[in-house]
Structure 1
Amino acid sequence: MANQNLGNNYLGKVKDCFSIITLLHENLYFWQKIKGKMGGLFHSLLDIFTYCNEPRISRKISRYGDIYFEVYDPVSNQNMNFGSEQEVKMWLEQKYYH
């Protein structure tokens, strides 16, 4: 009986740790989204005051830790995501140098 209570206490503590880690991860993701929205607002204001027709490229990290590149093309008013720097370079060469 004592071993079962000890096991239940251990499992309860493990569950509590996972709950805390999950909560911290969700809070981190929330603040990253806020930061991204504020960055987007800043870029929008910057666009209003200084129009530039060159693409804007941002290196991003997904909530799963994967790196990707977000490209905004003001000429076509499109946002695109690429999985690697090489893909961005290929798109730039195709779009602007051919």
Structure 2
Amino acid sequence: MQDDITCLESQGRETLNSTRFRHNYGWEILHKIWQKLVKIIISNPQEIQVKQKVDRYGNQYWYAYDPITGKSFASGSQADIAMWIEQVYRSH
């Protein structure tokens, strides 16, 4: 009879651990959604947007977009992006 109890406890622990995993995963997803929502709310739609991206070969590069002019620029160098942003601000 003790073997049956041990077996049931073991199964109970596995169920509890998988429930915790699903619970934590759910909170992680909600946290990411919340972060994106806050970012959208506080962002200025007229500011230059800069993102770091990865191409299909795994190379990282920078992408900048000016919503006022509709122009964009991409480069593997942060310095190049910074120079482009300075030029855009000078032309406004």
Q: Could you tell me the percent identity over the aligned residues?
A: 5
Q: 1:50 to 1:31 in 2, by over 3 A?
A: farther
Matched residue, 2:61: 92
TM (norm. structure 1) is 0.53
- C-alpha displacement of 1:44: 1.3
Q: Which structure 2 segments of 5+ residues have no match?
A: 63-73, 78-92
- C-alpha displacement of 1:46: 2.9
Q: Flag the structure with larger Rg.
A: 2
Match of 2:47 among 39, 43, 51: 51
Match of 1:35 among 14, 31, 35: 31
Q: Which structure 1 segments of 5+ residues have no match?
A: 58-70, 72-79
> How far apart in 2 are the matches of 1:18 and 1:97?
47
Letter in 2 for 1:9: I
Matched residue, 1:63: none
Contact 2:60 2:76 survives alignment (8 Å): no
Match of 1:16 among 5, 12, 19: 12
Q: 1:40 to 1:81 in 2, by over 3 A?
A: farther
- Alpha-carbon RMSD: 3.1
TM (norm. structure 2) is 0.56
